[in-house]
Structure 1
Amino acid sequence: MNPRRKKRLLAVVAIIFGVGATIGLVLYALQENINLFYTPSELVDGKGPNKEKPHIGQKLRIGGMVVPGSVVRDESSLKVSFKLIDTGPMVTINYQGILPDLFREGQGIVAQGVLVNANEIDAFEVLAKHDEEYMPAEVAEAVKGIKHEKPTYNLESGN
């Protein structure tokens, strides 16, 4: 093989190796940032035909309805815990921070966080719907058929 062909071959091999390494590093970096959407039933029972469940420590998004009477606030901090439901089992969401103004019991929400155990999530973001008509498509599909009563408020006591 003459030196010119040898240089060309080495250049092509180096380019292919560089492109392959770049693609591999990009895919590895993106793997950490993928947030899959689950409903409470999919989280507990498994998702898809193989009933695959997320692993502990996995980042994910979960959507459903806040169970009335399940919101527990810590008196000394901004910690809040509440339960989320769709058509099946309940999942506990733990969140530290200020909840959206539109957050309330009996409302559809989407939370992003990390799976702590089979039915508990430490959320770092909680999103509430912006009006009575809007609900994220994934949540609307998940909660079809749920009969829900709106929470009642006592205007005289402020609750």
Structure 2
Amino acid sequence: MRGLKKKRRVQIIVVAFVALGLSTGLIGYAMRDGINFFRAPSQIVEAPPPPTETFRIGGLVEAGSLQRGQGETIRFNVTDGGAVVPVAYTGVLPDLFAENQGMIGTGRLIDGVFEATEILAKHDESYMPKEVVDALKEQGVYRHDPGNPPSGS
């Protein structure tokens, strides 16, 4: 009788560990595409990610680089002051998207061109995404307007 209780207890513990391991594996598998790392243009130029990796890029839209071609594809350059990365995006840009303004894009780097699937523009005059502010500060090109509250807060 006593050996049967001990055997049953061990079985329950083993089943619980297997279930825990399986659920952890399933959660990791489900989240594999949901995590997009942020990279500044300088980081992309230094160590280009593989074409299979989806990530976020942020910086300022370079002045004079916005090209609206035939069809819906828009091309422009993103810079953080230290490097420039060309971007291609097919779709409708946000209303607040403009040259010399902050942006963040999600997509992949294919043959040296960031092919964006989503473009986000700054929110208003005083807002710039925290990641973009940090990247610009690192390059020494960030200029804060003292009349506006701190960006990215």
For structure 2, the 5+ residue unaligned runs are 144-153
Higher helix residue share:
2
For structure 1, the 5+ residue unaligned runs are 47-52, 149-159
AA of the residue aligned to 1:86 = D
Matched positions, count: 140
Q: 2:58 is matched with which residue?
A: 63
In 1, Cα distance between the equivalents of 2:20 and 2:124?
47
**TM-score normalized with structure 1 length:** 0.80
Q: 1:133 is matched with which residue?
A: 126
AA of the residue aligned to 2:7 = K
AA of the residue aligned to 2:133 = A
In 2, Cα distance between the equivalents of 1:79 and 1:10?
60
| More displaced 10-residue stretch of structure 1: 36-45 or 119-128 | 119-128
Q: Percent identity?
A: 39
AA of the residue aligned to 1:87 = G
AA of the residue aligned to 1:141 = D
Q: 1:146 is matched with which residue?
A: 141
Q: Which runs of 4+ in 1 moved over 3 A?
A: none
| More displaced 10-residue stretch of structure 1: 2-11 or 12-21 | 2-11
Q: 2:81 is matched with which residue?
A: 87
Aligned Cα RMSD in Å? 1.9
In 2, Cα distance between the equivalents of 1:65 and 1:23?
39
- Whether 1:112 aligns to 2:116 is no
AA of the residue aligned to 1:63 = G
